[in-house]
Amino acid sequence: MSAPARPLRILVTGSTGLLGRTLCPALAARGHIVLSHSRSASSASVAFPLLPGHELERAVLALRPDWIIHAAALTDLDACERDPAAARLLHVAAPASLAFAASRLGARFLYVSTDSVYPGDPASAPRPESTPPAPVNTYARTKAEGEAACLQFPDTSLVARVNFFGLHPDRPVGLAAWILRRLAEGRPFSGFTDVWFNPLHTSALADLLALAIEARLSAGTYNFGASDACSKHDFARRLALRVGADPALVLPATLASAGLPTPRPLRTVMDTRRLAAALGRPLPTIDEGLDALLATLPAPAV
């Protein structure tokens, strides 16, 4: 699959987040012009409020991107429950304005969604993109609403349902950082045996998003996930083995036993065959992603 004939101008919201910090450099390394967006001009190349309406649309029209990637999100599930209006603003209203602006420009829009929109049935098979959403919390519900809002522009919008892990260079956020912190403490902690997923490492997800843009995938919804799946208990044990920690520190537990305040789906494994076929390449495995994560860790002191 060949790269585009000219560099693309790509506006990326959420550029300082866990995905954005990997995605923006990956796009730039492929020769594209990256317009990284953040609330603060000191941490990105462009800054303006993600408030829906004419001001947002005018700001985007002035930048004249070829693609807009909306990776900004409120990923704290409990925070979404406390302030659903804030979640709806960032996940629904703002991307709807961005998708509208893209359609006016003749640009393309990519909405980074989540596997959590799928039904979390405990024994379900991998979910194809045609599965009707059945979100169980505000985060996923607003993401599903955002998908629908963006797909009101069916010729220009692409929805990427994702699950990913990695390490942020500036702050300990995400599942991998949490597991590594617990392993470093050397105290037992719970890993859910009944929560299954197929996450990608951020570097793999960034590469796949870049390929999707360069290939100008047809509009619609695609699952961006690993080619295999595992439980979160197994995921934590595999990570423990890679960093030389005792996998017995990861105790088997069920989601219900944790008593978490916000509901979570049990099994959101995605069927990724549509994306693999569209890109003409196999998708990475979870073990390949864990190996990539290990390569980003600092070498142990001698």
pLDDT digits (tens, 9 = 90+) for 138-159: 999 999 999 999 999 999 999 9
Residue 33 in this model has a pLDDT that exceeds 50: yes
pLDDT of residue 38: 86
Rounded Cα distance, 114 and 207, in Å: 17
Per-residue model confidence as pLDDT tens digits over 45-101: 898 989 988 899 999 999 999 999 999 999 999 999 999 999 999 999 999 999 999
Residue 190 in this model has a pLDDT that exceeds 50: yes
Name the nearest CA neighbour of 286 among 225, 221, 237, 216.
225
pLDDT of residue 1: 42
Q: How many residues are present in the chain?
A: 302
Beta bridge partners of 38: 47
Burial classification of residue 31, based on how many CB atoms lie within 10 Å of its CB (0-12 exposed, 13-18 middle, 19 or more buried) = exposed
The torsion angles phi and psi of 31, rounded to 5 degrees, stand at: 95, 5
pTM to 2 decimal places? 0.95
Residue 104 in this model has a pLDDT that exceeds 50: yes
